[in-house]
Amino acid sequence: MRALVTGGAGFIASHVADRLLEEGHDVAIVDNFATGKRANLPPSARFHELDIRDPALADVFAEERPEIVIHHAAQMDVRRSVEEPAYDADVNLLGTLNLLERCREHGTRKVVYAGTGGAMFGEAAYLPVDERHPVMPISPYGVSKHTVEHYLHAYHVNFGLDFTVLRYPNVYGPRQDPHGEAGVVAIFALQMLDGRQPLIFGDGSKTRDYCFVSDIVQANMLATERGGAGLFNIGRGVEVSDLEVFETVRAAVGSTVEPQYAPTRPGEVEHIALDAALAGRELDWEWKVGFQEGVEKAVEFYRSKRER
């Protein structure tokens, strides 16, 4: 299979690219290093340094002729989307439209899209949320990521482009960059390893659904062949509070530091967890890595990286 991975120098997509290569697929990557890192690029993948909004993306498609596109490139900062909604829409909507047009022109079979479950539903009417829950995002990021789902449906109906949407929870694990990508596990781990006092926004009761990166990679691999024209929540369906994250990371680090607190930030929901039963039935997906185990793996990565 010829695969093009957008955002492939980033945290999640670089792991997806690694897995594709391990399974013998032909892989090309597009990334502009807005948040991604050159060190994350697998050496056996072909690389194109390019913004997905760039018209030169057409040349990449003409050269690579991908059968499948795994689309992770995005403006992914909720806070920045609140402060700069036009920039968020420019990257996430116009960039994706540029990508979809190239898929249409060059006969790409399918797009696997990294959506958001954490930012799309707004304040939940019930938890965990399933795919039937009303979509009422409170951040421009949630709006733009959800809008892409409608574009995918339109391209499927009008041009026959297949797609699968994977609505991610909070993903964490090795390679997550606390400086360029959202990720409280990475942020807390690096701060504690450096002897600094982590900051919790709010009173620590805000909850998220945390899923380890290897489980997210597996969802992407399954979606390359399953879940046609489907939208799937991906998550453990378990709420984990900010204070629980802090305590779990602190135990893994072996620290005794106490948190400091700051006011909540605009655009962030208070509580979210995702019901992935549909993904279980139609993609045969299930999570494997528990939160404590995953945090320990992540902390070990950051510890070894810091020591190097």
Which of the residues are catalytic? 141
Q: How many CA atoms lie within 13 A of 63 on its CB side?
A: 13
Q: Strand locations in 242-303, DSSP E? A: 260-262
Burial 51-73 (b: 16+ CB within 10 A, else e): bbbbeebeebbeebebbbbbbbb
Per-residue tokens: 251: 């135990």
Give the whole-angstrom CA distance, residue 169 versus residue 213: 11
Nearest-CA neighbor of 211 among 138, 148, 272?
A: 272
Contact between 161 and 110 (Cβ < 8 Å): yes
Q: What are phi and psi of 159, to 5 degrees?
A: -125, 0
Give the whole-angstrom CA distance, residue 42 versus residue 207: 34
